Amino acid sequence: MNNSPIKQKAHNKWIVFLLVATAIFMSTLDSSIVNIALPYIMEDLHTRVNIIQWVILAYLVSVSSLLLTFGRLSDTRGRKIIYTYGFLIFSVGSLFCSIAQTPFSLIASRGIQGCGAAMLMACSPAIIIDLFPPEERGRAIGMMGTAVAAGLTAGPLAGGILLDFFSWRSIFYINIPIGLIATFAGFSILKGTSADKGNNEPLDKKGSILLVISICSFIIALTHLDRWEILSVKLLSLFIISFISFFIFIKTEAKSGYPLFDPKLLKIKLFFFPVISAAILFSALFTITFLMPFYLTYPCNYSASTTGLIMITPFVFLFFFSPVAGSIYDKIGSRWLCSIGISLLTLSLASFIFINTSSDIMSILWRLALAGTGTALFISPNNTATMNSISVSQRGIASGSVATSRNIGMVIGIAVAGLIFSSTYSNLTDGASLENYTQEMDIFFMTAFKKAMATGAVIALPGIFLSYMRGDDKP
């Protein structure tokens, strides 16, 4: 009888974990499921690759620019209010996506979805750390990693099945009931927990606005390189605005008593190098995840379900090898694991240069498996090394910084891949789009595809050097 309160508390703790895992699963599922649907969305809405890429970019840009702000708001207003409203906004964004009739309305709706996802992502690790005692946090965080891998794995598979039987709009419909149920569950389950408490510290509003301006203007400029001249006023203005905003942001944060980001963290070698190398890895990885569905759909002519099955390959390897990498890290540290991991991803990208339209499925699978293995060897040791390098009091800000770096890497990868592919394909076909694709265009598609993959490999190369330069961090 005396132990019942303890058991009840433990029971509630794992119920909260299930709620957090649902949010992680949904946000990662949504980011991966949309990749499979891009060719179908592009065809239905009569648009081009350089426009449709914003269906992904709008989501990632809004997440990247708002993550630190919502992380800070969860400290000041309480995690429950940010978390539950995050579910609600994500559900509303999904509804708008499902009824969108134009590329612009779909892209705007994805921005709303990204805002909700940022609220969920900013709170998830903090809720777990707040609720679980130190001796159970490693297990809980490890299980969160399983939820991430499950979402990334299920996305392409579920997307392929839905697209074979229903419209692309169905991939957004499924979010609505789950999100609404989770919203009401969050208000009830998180009530009275540590997540329901805030503090009186102010939000750095100036820093938040500057960060949004910097990230948004940089990405807009990057994705217009193929349409605006390099020295055009519009392009140069956006880059200048981005860099000036970021410079002022860093200056502001250095003086702020309650910063969104502490610039002093950049002086820590085992924080700075892992964060930068993570951005590079995700930039290279998303070159593959963005372009592969187009390769499998157009030159290879695979069905949506087959494309989805093929695209889960890297995430299956991520699912199984991530715990192994974590165990090895405990013995040798992150330096060699991360260096080898990003080297394998570089080799995967380089190997796609030698693929063609007649390549069999096994030729595709081993290349994707190589990318998944390399990513698995990198992520867990890199994240652990980053968080171990700083004090406990700074882990909230650091966690948001790592997530922001990861998302910016994804955005850059998609933007650069879209730029290289679109500009090359357009030049070779005199402005033709994939909307009017014929078998005669295979050679032009493959030239553009291989050029983009080669660019991804070049992007990944510095990551090998930076991963090694972090130095030894054997626990």
Q: Are residues 266 and 181 in the same domain?
A: no
Closest-CA residue to 397 (of 275, 301, 224):
275
What's the chain's average pLDDT?
81
**One-letter amino acid identity for 417?**
A
pLDDT at 129: 67
The residue from 238, 257, 276 where one domain ends is 257
Q: Are residues 306 and 403 in the same domain?
A: yes
pLDDT at 281: 93
Which structural domain, as residue segments, surrounds residue 93? 1-202
| DSSP H helix total and E strand total for the chain | 16, 0
**One-letter amino acid identity for 102?**
T
pLDDT per residue as tens digits for the range 369-421:
999 999 888 887 887 777 777 765 566 566 677 777 887 888 788 878 888 89
Q: Are residues 326 and 401 in the same domain?
A: yes
256: left (phi over 0), alpha (psi -120 to 50) or beta: beta
Q: Are residues 91 and 194 in the same domain?
A: yes
Neighbours of 67 (CB within 10 A): 28
Poorest-pLDDT segment among 74-83, 88-97, 293-302: 74-83
Mean pLDDT of 281-294: 89
Q: Are residues 234 and 336 in the same domain?
A: no
Give the phi and the psi of residue 334 in degrees, each rounded to 5.
-100, -20
The helix (run of H) or strand (run of E) holding residue 10 is helix 4-44
Q: Are residues 37 and 158 in the same domain?
A: yes
pLDDT at 2 over 50: no
**One-letter amino acid identity for 457?**
A
pLDDT at 253: 82
* Residue 94 CA: distances (Å) to CA of 31, 105, 113, 323: 12, 12, 6, 32
219 close to 411: Cβ distance less than 8 angstroms: yes
Q: Are residues 304 and 230 in the same domain?
A: no
Q: Are residues 249 and 309 in the same domain?
A: no
Q: Are residues 358 and 233 in the same domain?
A: no
Mean pLDDT of 12-29: 76
* Residue 82 CA: distances (Å) to CA of 187, 261, 297, 445, 462: 11, 19, 39, 44, 37
Which structure tokens are listed for 72?
A: 């800070």
pLDDT at 461: 94
41 close to 104: Cβ distance less than 8 angstroms: no
Number of domains in the chain: 3
Give the phi and the psi of residue 193 in degrees, each rounded to 5.
-90, 180
Mean pLDDT of 238-260: 86
CATH of the domain at 56: 1.20.1250.20
Q: Are residues 363 and 470 in the same domain?
A: yes
The residue from 169, 186, 202 where one domain ends is 202
Which structure tokens are listed for 151?
A: 């979402």
The residue from 160, 184, 202 where one domain ends is 202
Poorest-pLDDT segment among 17-31, 111-125, 307-321: 17-31
Highest mean pLDDT among 15-19, 179-183, 403-407, 451-455: 451-455
pLDDT at 160 over 90: no
Higher pLDDT, 452 or 123: 452
pLDDT per residue as tens digits for the range 114-130:
899 888 877 776 677 66
Q: Are residues 280 and 352 in the same domain?
A: yes
Q: Are residues 192 and 269 in the same domain?
A: no
